[in-house]
Structure 1
């Protein structure tokens, strides 16, 4: 074979041999022996099969190739030598050695080193197997995750980093009423309106490493809000969110989990309604028992009778305390108890708590000591009623469990580090120390648990629900603090608790104090004791019901409520009332008709005094009311001082009535140029603030929200009534609208409603449509103004 061809074969790592018919080597390439099993046997004249044992057994095939029956033959071999660490893979091909285009008896054997190719093929096969295994694993993992996600009871939504929905599970489809194809690509805010409020918090949270998805942010604490369904329904949900960050941009985004809270809310509502019902049903007779024992104690009684009455009164008070504890605990547990953030005098709060328990300490001959601290801030921001509740509970316990010695109260304050967006830079610590029975160290952990006391003998001897300290613990935590105790048996106990707050500067303190004193001059909180009255409030509009009930509560009255004249008559026939606060415009039976029934059915000597509540400022209406048997009237909106005056002074002469009317008319004219008289909203806040059980700001917000929700419905009903020429209904609607609008300070709007009412009374039909258009236009201004005022609260 020529040298050029030999070199080309060598470059390709291909060697050759030429053998004769007896398998003897007659020609070979220089390096062919390196590919042989026995390299020293590959020599000229040697049998090629000794060096390449793979050729044994192919003699017949070789004969066929020589005779031209077969073109060539290929076989594979593996060379394992001591020198080579790894085996060498070879391909052997046998063909005729053609010389000068003539077939000879010689055979050409070509040997090729294919080790690299074989290793590569094995690697490819192994890689393919591993890839196939990984694919099966990933497929199984995806099926596993898909089954979990599909079976989740909570709705799951996955979005891109920009908030576009990528996928939702089956629960989410049912909850939101969307198919996955419909909602994919839409913004998450389509279903969760307030979601953007939490993006900043999510971004600030640290990551945790997961083996499958890499770093992800832990779930933000569940937030209760509402989601919007495809049909427009709003469903209460608790949602949490986690940010997913991976190296692959496609998999970055957010995971949202929504939990339908409808059932829980319904259960909470049912529980609240049940508690409210139980509260009313139990408190009413208990209050009556306590009230009657108070009255009975001021009559001539023998000594045993006095003891009986005192026992009944104390038992009634104890029962009332238990009811209050259970209701408070239920509110806290359900998350419905909110802590006020209003300025109050710290020392006044402490002294009020002490004054309530001074007599009890004196009865046990205990010294009640308050260690005054001049470094305490004068005015702080917080919830005075809840702080007072903790103090009273701890002081009462200290007195209860102390037979000899003293009970001491000390208060200290210190600056604290502000965390995040907090405003409270002050921590106040209270300590109530007694010389009582003490508590064993192994039982201290039971103290602050609900329905738990140190041992059963405590309950038998001292009574109580075991809720007091549990409530104190939760209240102190709601106020940013904590509670703990240090105690030794028979050596007394010291209960500590803290709150976080901030002090009010001196100038603001003086201003607030002067305002508080001014309001205290006007409101007589003991009027119900001085002038006990059983009051029936007849009012169909919920906002007005709540407002007037709050005014009465501030004075110590608890009024029953009827929604119209028919309900009022039913109530009057079932029990006697001293006063009826009667709205004039109501559905089913108005106030005037109800008054006529009352006058006809009850003699003057037993008839309740009827006070008309009216939004009308016309003198003729007032005269008509008085002539019909109504004893007095109040023009809406009225202040708590006016209501108090009416209740304490039932005889108001005509000159005074006229004077009040003129003043109200003048005030209305002065405020006609205002969209909203903010003083009215401030008055609502002030009235609500008088009641410790009501969150004043929340009450204002709810009042505004109710008005903004109900007024468009009224306007729509007004339009329908106009279209149907139902002028009686139209007049009733605008009267209610005038009343409710005036309550919120929308004087101009209320005035337009009153003008329309007068137009309807005078049957000037041609002017009605134009006036309704004015009312609609003015409401747009009122809505904007109220939304702006709402933000202030």
Structure 2
């Protein structure tokens, strides 16, 4: 330090220390030893905290001053003499060194005798000492909290009130792929862009919870969102945060906790895939067993044969119900169950449940009664399917556990006056259902088990009556989803009454109107197009592979090809097609899009991935799509998969002929000639009153009556089990199965000339794609009616 400053400080009785960045003494004033804690311990090169232990724990202060975040720091009234007769107190000031070599020796400590002031302010002595102790405790507390934060498995970020990140733990650095220094000072929206959308929500929670508990900060819990990493990945997280309030503004802000949901999402996806597999791979064969058993029961079986088939049928239904319970429970648990909001007639919903279960009640000699009232609303808005599911489950249980007596169902409505209900339910009324039986009753100490998953009153119930213990658990969850609740009152050996409520809007009678339902009569049959004769060319015949899994479609396509002078091999799916392509040099493949094992789109992609050496012909065959989906996007999807051409079902013979000739010219490198003359021919439409386009059928069979009857018989044998599968799929809300089967029915119907059935199946397929089940039963009734008429025609027709 220069001499002028030294003299000024000396006159003012101020001593000083100059420190380097490691807090070691570089320069000492002459009289400083007098103020040291231990005289003669102040030496150059020593750590200043040895001579002045009061500086211990102020490392953060030294750093703040060194980096310009703080101008100075003072310790006042430090006792150096405990002799009451001659006390000695000093003040210590830490500031930045502004002299030369300040970058090397950045800090200066100024020590001043403050005895006179401290004697006058003796009362402040204890406070200064306590402040020093508090600082030590704060340092230890900081280390303690830092260790806890560091050890957290969840990512934690702390921000200022303005949203600037000022601290994050190691888990946050790993999750977000940022180093701590890269995020300090950055806005929280850098990693959670949607954070501002939750401000209003936490503000509402804060107002409510602060009113209820003013000493507790509100916490917004488990909001699923996404965060963004340094490498621009999007990660699903469970996001929660809380506002931190203190009297010091520097210690106010927000604490954010991010829980990585990637593994949970993967587990959920695996669960969904497993459930999808169960739904398709298990329910489909069960549905086939039930469907075939149902057909057998209509075949006039007698005696022991009928008994055996009835056992198969009832066992299949029981197994299907168990699987459906598991799937419904899993869907509700995962939050993937969405309720519909559609108007429906309440009485019809109740009647449907009664109609379904009436045979079981009659078999046991039980009487089921519905206590109707004039106050019962006619039309309400809600999910008729889920309400019916709850009613059927409770009625089924009542029948199961009642040996003699009766079952009564009643409904009452209450106007909603609960001001605490959510806004979504503010305009709804509470509808209460009760199902009263005279059954075995439930012990009072077992009632709490009823609505728990996989739980029944006791193990003997499972052995005697069967079931999974999921039915009432599902009912409870469905009632809660519909804005209500479920409970029971029971007396052992006397009976039980199950109550449940839902929240629903009631439509006034004058505005309810008539329900417009899909019906067979509303579907208009389109006029069939005129057909053309085809004159075959002299081109070499193509070697054709027909890839089609539907037996009716196979028959029709082969018959068309035969009439055009072609023959074809048949593959039932893409895997068989690939196997044949390795052995036989096909020129062209007629490829159906929807097939089991390997569909047409994936098969075509695999054909394109093959090397030329994989094909028996040494070159890739032409792939022509044949599909009942005629929308532009379906055609584009086929072309995107690598198909060369597209034929929409129904495939007319002249269109097929033109396509084959075009590709034959391309394959055999023959120049295009003039377009073939086409002459319109007319064929008499069959006089039989049957929903068949006879002109189409006559053309397919080339006026061969025996072949027409054979096609119709194959058509019926193919469609009937599919309709049974569809009915079971509708009952279990398996829309994928409905779409698959209706697509097959649509394709077969349009090929056979059953145009009205094609329209019905098309409508059913569209409903399945839209996840809608309203109107599906009407469509099935229409399809069954047409099948029945064709069956009656075949029975009446000789040689059928």
> Structure 1-normalised TM-score?
0.56
What are the Cα deviations for residues 300-328 of structure 1, in whole angstroms up to 9, with x where unaligned? 43312211111121111111111111111
* Residue of structure 2 equivalent to 1:464: 467
CA distance in 2, matches of 1:274, 1:642: 24
What is the Cα deviation at residue 472 of structure 1?
A: 0.8
SS at match of 1:589: helix
Report the Cα distance in structure 2 between the residues aligned to 1:644 and 1:256, rounded to whole angstroms.
55
Partner secondary structure for residue 351 of structure 1? helix
Equivalent position of 1:183 in the other structure = 183
Distance in 2 (CA, whole Å) between partners of 1:237 and 1:208 is 26
Q: Does the 8 Å CA contact 1:215/1:245 hold for their aligned counterparts? A: no
Correspondence for 1:427 among 416, 425, 430: 430
The answer to whether the 8 Å contact 2:395/2:435 transfers is yes
5 Å matches for 1:460-499?
Answer: 460-499=463-502
Q: Hey, what's the Cα distance between the residues in 2 that align with 1:619 and 1:476?
A: 49
CA shift at 1:130, angstroms? 0.6
**2:749 paired residue number:** 648
Q: Contact (CA 8 Å) 2:157, 2:168: kept in 1 or not?
A: yes
Residues 540-689 of structure 1 mapped to structure 2, 5 A cutoff: 566-567=574-575, 569=577, 586=601, 589=604, 611-615=627-631, 625-627=655-657, 647-652=748-753, 688-689=770-771
Aligned counterparts of 2:433 and 2:580: Cα–Cα separation in 1: 50
CA contact (8 A) 2:402 2:440 kept: yes
Q: Mark the CA change 1:148 to 1:320 in structure 2 (over 3 Å): closer, same or farther.
A: same
Q: Secondary structure at the match of 2:220?
A: coil
Partner secondary structure for residue 135 of structure 1: helix
C-alpha displacement of 1:447: 0.8
How far has the Cα of 1:207 moved from its partner?
A: 6.6
SS at match of 2:409: strand
1:592 Cα deviation from its structure 2 partner: 13
| 3-state SS of paired residue (1:194) | helix
Aligned partners of 2:594 and 2:600 also within 8 Å: no
The alpha-carbon distance between structure 1 residues 446 and 232, as it changes in their structure 2 partners (threshold 3 A), is: same
8 Å CA contact retained: 1:385, 1:692? no
Alignment map for 1:355-374 (pairs within 5 Å): 355-374=355-374
Change (3 A) 1:343 1:195: farther
Alignment check: 8 A CA contact 2:518 2:775 kept: no
Q: What residue ranges of structure 1 are gaps of 5+ in the alignment?
A: 1-74, 79-88, 92-113, 525-532, 539-563, 574-578, 594-608, 661-679, 695-793
For the structure 1 residues 375 and 275, does the alpha-carbon distance in structure 2 shift closer, same or farther, using more than 3 Å as the test?
A: same
Summarize the Cα distance change of 1:403–1:176 in structure 2 as closer, same or farther, 3 Å threshold. Answer: same
Work out whether residues 205 and 217 of structure 1, in 8 Å CA contact, stay in contact via their aligned partners in 2.
no
Please report how far the alpha carbon of residue 430 of structure 1 lies from its aligned counterpart in structure 2 after TM superposition. Answer: 0.9
Match of 1:326, SS state, is helix
CA distance in structure 1 between the aligned counterparts of 2:359 and 2:578, rounded to whole angstroms = 45
Distance 1:278 1:412 in 2: 39
* Mapped pair 1:157 → 2:157: yes
Provide, for residues 637-656 of structure 1, a one-character-per-residue CA deviation record: whole Å limited to 9, x for no partner.
x9x99996654353449xx9
Q: CA deviation at 1:567?
A: 4.5
Q: Does 1:303 align with 2:303?
A: yes
Aligned equivalents of 2:362, 2:275: Cα separation in 1? 36
Question: Relative to 1, partners in 2 of residues 1:379 and 1:194: Cα closer, same or farther, differing over 3 Å?
Answer: farther
For residues 351 and 322 of structure 1, the distance between their equivalents in structure 2, rounded to whole angstroms, comes to 24
What is the 5 A alignment of 1:232-381?
A: 232-381=232-381
CA distance in 1, matches of 2:552, 2:253: 56
Provide structure 2 residue ranges, at least 5 long, that are not aligned to the other structure: 1-80, 88-113, 526-547, 554-571, 582-590, 609-624, 636-645, 661-695, 701-738, 777-800
Residues 439, 195 of structure 1: alpha-carbon distance in 2 compared, 3 angstrom cutoff: same
How far residue 149 of structure 1 moved from its aligned partner, in angstroms, is 1.2
Number of residue pairs aligned between Structure 1 and Structure 2: 506
RMSD: 4.8
- Residue 153 of structure 2 aligns to a residue whose secondary structure is coil
The SS at the match of 1:471 is: helix
Q: How does 1:693-712 map to 2 (within 5 A)?
A: none
Measure, in 1, the Cα distance between the counterparts of 2:484 and 2:440. Answer: 27
**Which string of whole-angstrom CA distances, capped at 9 and with x for unpartnered residues, describes residues 725-773 of structure 1?**
xxxxxxxxxxxxxxxxxxxxxxxxxxxxxxxxxxxxxxxxxxxxxxxxx
Measure, in 2, the Cα distance between the counterparts of 1:365 and 1:352.
Answer: 20
1:284 is paired with a residue whose SS is helix
Distance across 2 between alignment mates of 1:587 and 1:459? 46
State the Cα distance separating 1:297 from its structure 2 match: 1.8
Q: How far apart, CA to CA, are the structure 2 residues paired with 1:197 and 1:135?
A: 39
Task: Kindly state the Cα deviation for residue 376 of structure 1 after the two structures are TM-superposed.
Answer: 3.1
Structure 1 SS opposite 2:275: helix
1:27-42 equivalences under 5 Å are none
State the structure with bigger RCO (CA 8 A, min sep 6), 1 or 2: 2
Q: What is the deviation of 1:356?
A: 0.8
The equivalent residue for 1:41 is none
Q: Distance in 2 between matches of 1:316 and 1:572?
A: 38
Aligned to 1:199: 199
Change in CA separation of 1:275 and 1:77 when aligned onto 2, cut-off 3 Å: closer
Matched, 1:393 2:385: no
- Per the alignment, do residues 443 and 383 of structure 1 end up closer, same or farther by CA in structure 2, a change over 3 Å counting? same
Please name the residue that 1:690 is paired with: 772
Aligned with 2:264: secondary structure? helix
Deviation at 1:266, TM superposition (A): 0.9
Deviation at 1:448, TM superposition (A): 0.9
8 Å contact 2:425–2:503 — kept in the other structure? no
Structure 2 CA distance for aligned equivalents of residues 143 and 520 of structure 1: 79
CA distance in 2, matches of 1:300, 1:122: 113
2:451 pairs with 1:443? no
Asked whether the equivalents of residues 381 and 506 of structure 2 are also in contact (C-alpha less than 8 Å), the reply is yes
- TM-score computed with the length of structure 2 as normaliser: 0.55
Shift of 1:223: 1.4
The 1:687/1:286 distance shift into structure 2, 3 A limit, reads closer
